[in-house]
Amino acid sequence: MKVVHSIEELRDQLRGQLRVAFVPTMGNLHAAHLSLMRLARQHGDPVVASIFVNRLQFGPNEDFDRYPRTLMDDIQKLEGERDVYVLFAPDERELYPEPQNFRIQPGDSLGQILEGAFRPDFFMGVSTVVLKLFSCVQPRVAVFGKKDYQQLMVVRAMCRQFQLPVEILAHETVRDPDGLALSSRNRYLSPEERTEAPTLYGLLQQVRDTVRQGQRDLPVIEAHVMQTLSSRGWDPDYVAVRRQRDLQPPKPDELDTGEPLVVLAAARLGATRLIDNLEFDVLR
Average the pLDDT over each of 6-20, 27-41, 53-67, 187-201 and give the range with the smallest value.
53-67
**pLDDT-derived band of residue 283, with 50, 70 and 90 as boundaries?**
confident
User: What is the structure's pLDDT at 108?
Assistant: 82
Report the chain's mean pLDDT, rounded to a whole number.
96
Rounded CA-CA distance 167/44 in Å is 11
Average pLDDT over residues 178-189: 95
Cβ proximity of 49 and 23 under 8 Å: yes
Which residue among 33, 43, 171, 224 is the active-site one? 33
7-14 vs 122-137: helix axis angle to the nearest 10? 50
Tell me which of 16 and 256 has the higher pLDDT: 16
pLDDT of 248 higher than 80: yes
What secondary structure letter does DSSP report for 84?
Answer: -
**pLDDT-derived band of residue 114, with 50, 70 and 90 as boundaries?**
very high
Name which of 225, 194, 221, 212 is nearest 261 in CA terms.
212
pLDDT of 284 higher than 80: no
User: What is the structure's pLDDT at 258?
Assistant: 86
Cβ proximity of 146 and 277 under 8 Å: yes
**pLDDT-derived band of residue 57, with 50, 70 and 90 as boundaries?**
very high
Residue 33 annotated in active site: yes
Q: Residue type for 129, please?
A: V
